[in-house]
Amino acid sequence: MKQKSKKGKKAKKGAVESDVRTPIVCVMGHVDHGKTTLLDTIRGTAIADGEAGAITQHIGATEIPLSVIKDVCGPVFAGKFQIPGLLFIDTPGHHSFTSLRSRGGSLADLAIVIVDVTEGFLPQTVESINILKQYQTPFVIAANKVDRISGWRSVEGAPFSKALAAQNERVQGELENRIYGLIGELYSSGFNSDRYDRVTDFATNVALIPISAVGGEGIPDLLMVLIGLAQRFLKDNLKVKASGPGVGTVLEVQEERGLGTTLDVILYDGEFQTGDTIVVGSLHDPIVTRIRALLKPRPLSEIRTEERFIPVKHVVAASGVKVSAPKIENALAGSTIRVVDPSEDIEAVAEEIKSELESARIDTENVGVIMKADTIGSLEALVSEFESKDMPIHVADVGSITRKDVIRAEAIQDPLYSVVIGFNVDILPDALAAVQKNEVPVFLGNVIYNLIEDYEEWVTDLKMKMEQDRLHAVIRPGMVRIIPDCVFRQSKPAVVGVQVVGGQINNNVSLMREDGAVIGIVKGIQVQGDNIGSASVRQEVSISIDGPTVGRQIHEGDLLYTNIPEKHVKIIEAELKPRFTVDELETLDNFLAIKRKRDPFWGL
């Protein structure tokens, strides 16, 4: 159906079609490597100081106008720029970057991977770079915490060249060594890189900028590199129809006092206006609703820590905005939010958003793991990592782990894949009960790198155990002699005393005479009245044999061999023989000689 035109709706305000929008820059990296502190220094605020453990807890967005960047850069700022500024997205970790998606690609135009120069690459650093590689997002490395190098002399807010000149030769050498360490790690990840002031081709080399997020050293250089990259390589991609229907990505769904459920959104194309009809993705059918209110943080504040927002009538890309609307409780982080123009078919738009979400989900008949993630973007990243390692997937979907997920995992016949992988999600109570009842392994985590590593280690351990169990189940050579005058029962079952003269004898194995005739099955082994599972060479034990009668099929003094199945002999020859003792090898040779009298190729 077509949306009805709004009565008296005014033409939307906005820039002309050729306007260049603000580039979106995602700041990511390992926990506590300085993501939020970097933005705090740029903003001149102290957000990190007010957060528990100084670790960012939620995704946020901050727009830094070009005029502010010019002030921060000072004398380093040079050139004419059409870029209006930078919109920074501060993620709590690499995984939240996956919510920044646009039609299966990365919403971010550029990324800063911040690395503690004293610690180097850590798991979340590696994963951040892998995700950027997956989405083909250009990035720079901010080598942070140069001030932690012993003997560093702080020159607050200085360009890197000035800060470096203030250091003695030892400090300069130490920094150079650490920079080369990072360059080596980037090379291992498939990237050429160098310190930014030595890079001649920014299109083929990752720029590495040494900074101190606390003292501000190098930050002017970092901002200039970002502005320069955006101006040179991205300008054409930054041209948007700012006066058209808005399209954005939902970063977070949260409750706001007095507003109810709201959506933190990055608007990357077009415009939002109060009263607009919007379609937003959810776990089920897309939600169709109207924008009740648009709220922006105050200038140079940060959307996730702002307590007082400014109501606005319309918002133009690119910007972070809080959207208030009815019936958005089930909206999905990472999904598209889109304004429906009066001339468009709402159902067609909804179907387009639904198909976009469905394309990331997997539900097959193939044997593989059950996978759940918190957002579509996270799911895409997790699926990509599993597929790159040729790990099969049975089901991949968004949402908490349910009882149905556990039951489906339990039904997988291959124990290596009868598991549930949960990224940044909870286990529902009935699912937890099913996990405990069915003993289905569940792997939970909020770092894809660690999650996959945990699963791989578990698979390795399980394979080893399965292999040990398989080899343990192989019937090994055994030879016993019936001791004269030790017949305790003649039949049903026959109970006789024996001496193990080679290898070992176990319960439930069949016995064979020297002429190759199979005469019965060992039903029990005893030593001085105590039941035991097996007996080894030189032991004297009593055994009960179901099948023969003493004096007919077996006699005192007879040698009896464990009857090894042919497929077990092949496993022994291929895998176990080097581990056998001398008496086991002799017993095996005797057994094979008997079998091969009738068939020379038996067991080969």
Q: Are 182 and 30 in contact (CB under 8 A)?
A: no
* CATH number of the structural domain spanning residue 438: 3.40.50.10050
Two tokens, residue 85: 């500024």
Identify the bridge partners of residue 518 per DSSP, sorted by sequence position. 512
Does residue 12 belong to any structural domain of this protein? Answer: no
Burial class of residue 344 (count of CB atoms within 10 Å of its CB; 0-12, 13-18, 19+): middle
Same domain membership, residue 336 and residue 305 = yes
Does residue 495 belong to any structural domain of this protein? Answer: yes
Same domain membership, residue 227 and residue 153 = yes
Return d(Cα 545, Cα 507) in angstroms, integer: 10
Asked which of 439, 470, 501 is the last residue of a domain, the reply is 470
Same domain membership, residue 64 and residue 179 = yes
Asked which of 191, 216, 238 is the last residue of a domain, the reply is 238
Does residue 17 belong to any structural domain of this protein? Answer: no
pLDDT value of residue 14:
36
**Residue the block writes with tokens 């581990």:** 579
Does residue 260 belong to any structural domain of this protein? Answer: yes
pLDDT value of residue 358:
78
The domain of 257 spans 247-357
Return d(Cα 285, Cα 350) in angstroms, integer: 8
* CATH number of the structural domain spanning residue 152: 3.40.50.300
Residues 278-321: pLDDT tens digits? 999 888 889 999 999 998 866 555 555 556 678 889 888 777 88
Which residues of the chain have a pLDDT value below 70?
1-19, 31-33, 43-61, 90-106, 235-236, 238-243, 297-308
Does residue 131 belong to any structural domain of this protein? Answer: yes
Same domain membership, residue 279 and residue 318 = yes
Q: Are 336 and 100 in contact (CB under 8 A)?
A: no
In three-state secondary structure terms, 346 is helix
Same domain membership, residue 198 and residue 79 = yes
Two tokens, residue 418: 């009868």
Return d(Cα 411, Cα 182) in angstroms, integer: 46
Concatenated DSSP letters for 561-583?
EE---HHHHHHIIIIIGGG--HH
pLDDT value of residue 106:
63
pLDDT value of residue 22:
81
Residues 37-64: pLDDT tens digits? 887 777 664 343 343 332 222 235 677 7
Same domain membership, residue 175 and residue 107 = yes
Number of domains in the chain: 4
Same domain membership, residue 169 and residue 254 = no
Same domain membership, residue 390 and residue 293 = no
* CATH number of the structural domain spanning residue 353: 2.40.30.10
Return d(Cα 440, Cα 417) in angstroms, integer: 10
Q: Are 511 and 521 in contact (CB under 8 A)?
A: yes
Return d(Cα 32, Cα 216) in angstroms, integer: 17
pLDDT value of residue 217:
93
pLDDT value of residue 94:
42
pLDDT value of residue 54:
29
Asked which of 437, 470, 503 is the last residue of a domain, the reply is 470
How far out from the chain centre does Cα 144 lie? 25
Same domain membership, residue 165 and residue 101 = yes
Same domain membership, residue 283 and residue 373 = no
Same domain membership, residue 286 and residue 199 = no
How far out from the chain centre does Cα 461 lie? 20
Concatenated DSSP letters for 13-39?
P---TTPBPPPEEEEEESTTSSHHHHH
Concatenated DSSP letters for 30-85?
STTSSHHHHHHHHHT--TGGGSGGG---S-EEEEEEHHHHHHHHGGG--S-----E
Does residue 1 belong to any structural domain of this protein? Answer: no
Does residue 7 belong to any structural domain of this protein? Answer: no
Same domain membership, residue 464 and residue 482 = no
Does residue 440 belong to any structural domain of this protein? Answer: yes
